[in-house]
Amino acid sequence: MWETILGAVLAIVGGFIASRAQHRRDVKSLRLAFAGELGGVVNLLQTRKFVERLQQHIEGMRLSDAPAFFRGRIANGYDAVYASNAHRLGTLPPRLTRRLTIVYYRMAAMKQDLDLIFAASQKASGTEWLWQFDECIAFHEQLLSLSRNTIDLMSYAERLLDRRDRHGWPIKTPLQEWLSALRYTVLGPPRLRADDDIP
């Protein structure tokens, strides 16, 4: 009888341990998938020198004193991982889930602004206000500020998802993760330089 009870207990405990191990693997895979998607978008924007070109465009508008429309784009499907795994966000730590939601919302806002600028360049109905110089340059400056902040947030979120600190070192303990979150709260997201070496 005791052998039966002990066997049942061991089976339950073994099943629980196996379930927890599978859960950890699933969460790790999800974190890495999000990290890969955000890292890919950041890398593409940096490779295309998105912020630098937008800054130059604004400076050119100021020199010409005439409205002009920036040519830039964010590909459809940039949020494929987020869209297909939004229902699994609850498996991630709450603060990380909140940051991810903010990051993807800002990315969507960037894409919407770029789509509106393209529509204005095609003289689409409803975009006439963007042909006014003051409105046009103000809108581009807002996009520049949004882009810089969003790229910083994406880079920060990618490192958190991949459990790396601002120097690329692995975050192995909850205390390290808490300290990283505290640094973000106090100092804001660290600005990446072009020569930063993030593995």
pLDDT digits (tens, 9 = 90+) for 106-151: 999 999 999 999 999 999 998 999 999 999 999 999 999 999 999 9
**Residue 195 belongs to some domain of the structure:** no
Using 50, 70 and 90 to split pLDDT, how confident is the model at 53? very high
Q: Looking at residue 73, what is its pLDDT?
A: 83
Render 107-152 in DSSP notation, one character per residue.
HHHHHHHHHHHHHHHTT-TT-GGGGSHHHHHHHHHHHHHHHHHHHH
pLDDT of residue 158 exceeding 80, the answer is yes
What is the 8-class DSSP label of residue 193?
A: P
**Residue numbers of the domain that contains 99:** 31-187
Write out pLDDT tens, residues 12-35: 555 545 455 555 677 788 888 899
**Residue 72 belongs to some domain of the structure:** yes
What is the 8-class DSSP label of residue 166?
A: T
Partner residues linked to 164 by β-bridges: 170
- 182 vs 197, more confident: 182
**Residue 198 belongs to some domain of the structure:** no
**Residue 199 belongs to some domain of the structure:** no
What is the 8-class DSSP label of residue 90?
A: G
Residue 9, φ and ψ in degrees, nearest 5? -65, -45
pLDDT of residue 164 exceeding 70, the answer is no
Mean pLDDT over 145-160 rounds to 91
Check: CB of residue 64 under 8 Å from CB of residue 22.
no
**Residue 150 belongs to some domain of the structure:** yes
**Residue 192 belongs to some domain of the structure:** no
**Residue 88 belongs to some domain of the structure:** yes
**Residue 8 belongs to some domain of the structure:** no
> Looking at the 3D structure of the chain, how many domains does it have?
1
Mean pLDDT over 153-180 rounds to 65
pTM: 0.71
